């Protein structure tokens, strides 16, 4: 399945639903990441990442949700990132895709909860998965050159990350798989909105502090009864 192509997604997931009747669990984990001077990435490059990391998740979710809502059960896990909650330098175009995915997932969680469908986000820290290798250099060479010595910092940073993630002490990607399994095995309606995995950079604390504020919004909008009191 090519998650960047509407027809491919509809054909693949439509075939599963036609055979099985529904999809129990969808995990969106496809993604690419460009590391570099944010201003120097072209609109086309930003769109490429958004298509793979954000629009692709919308495609697959829209493909499975009608059957999940009809069945009254289902779980969708969207793989975000630490940078879905924070914005470090040189990751701007990638970070934007993950912030978009987080916002969409949070709103959707409220809306599909009354149908018995859970939406959850897993936020991995850096892992040695080859994600760095998916990137490409910024397309706007003139902009890149105008940054002088700073233009070389992202490349050096990427090399350091790659070395760290290939070392013996690097976090094991199995931790992310374990998070998926934990969410799958939890009772419906009791799954947390976000599960941070691995190096946290303070994102776990951000989630603890902000989720209650986020959920309080339902009370302020007088939507608690309409949406079944879904929270956290």
Residue 134 predicted with pLDDT over 90: no
Residue 202 predicted with pLDDT over 70: yes
Q: Tell which wins on pLDDT, 98 or 218.
A: 98
Residue 48 predicted with pLDDT over 90: yes
What pLDDT is attached to residue 69?
A: 96
In this structure, which CATH number among 3.30.1360.30, 3.40.50.720, 3.40.190.10, 3.40.50.150 belongs to the domain 6-220? Answer: 3.40.50.720
Kindly report, residue by residue over 2-25, the tens digit of the pLDDT: 999 999 999 999 999 999 988 999
Task: Report the percent of the chain where pLDDT is more than 90.
Answer: 72
Structure tokens at 149: 């010595």
Least-confidence region, from 50-59, 91-100, 164-173: 164-173
Average pLDDT over residues 48-74: 96
Residue 50 predicted with pLDDT over 90: yes
Kindly report, residue by residue over 155-196, the tens digit of the pLDDT: 888 888 777 777 777 788 899 999 999 999 999 999 999 999
What pLDDT is attached to residue 231?
A: 55
Contact 157, 90 (CB under 8 A): yes
Residues serving a catalytic function are 94
Residue 190 CB burial class (10 angstroms; 0-12, 13-18, ≥19): exposed
What pLDDT is attached to residue 227?
A: 64
What pLDDT is attached to residue 129?
A: 81
What pLDDT is attached to residue 158?
A: 80
The pTM of this model reads 0.90
């Amino acid at each position: 399945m090519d998650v960047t192509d509407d027809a491919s997604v509809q054909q693949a997931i439509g075939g599963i639903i036609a055979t099985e009747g529904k999809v129990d669990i969808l995990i969106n984990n496809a993604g690419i990441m460009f590391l570099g001077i944010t201003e120097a990435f072209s609109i086309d490059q930003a769109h490429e990442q958004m298509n793979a990391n954000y629009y692709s998740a919308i495609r697959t979710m829209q493909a499975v949700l009608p059957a999940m809502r009809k069945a009254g059960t289902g779980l969708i896990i969207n793989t975000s990132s630490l940078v879905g909650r924070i914005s470090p330098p040189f990751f701007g175009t990638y970070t934007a895709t993950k912030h978009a995915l987080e916002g969409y997932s949070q709103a959707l969680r409220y809306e599909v909860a009354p149908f018995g469908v859970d939406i959850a986000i897993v936020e991995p820290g850096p892992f040695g998965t080859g994600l760095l290798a998916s990137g490409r250099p910024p397309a706007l060479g003139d902009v890149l050159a105008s940054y002088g010595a700073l233009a070389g910092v992202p490349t050096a940073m990427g090399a350091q990350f790659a070395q760290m993630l290939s070392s013996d002490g690097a976090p094991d990607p199995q931790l992310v798989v374990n998070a998926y399994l934990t969410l799958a095995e939890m009772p419906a309606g009791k799954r947390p909105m976000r599960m941070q995995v691995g190096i946290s950079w303070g994102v776990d604390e951000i989630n603890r502090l902000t989720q209650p504020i986020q959920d309080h919004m339902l009370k302020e909008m007088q939507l608690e009864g309409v949406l079944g009191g879904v929270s956290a």
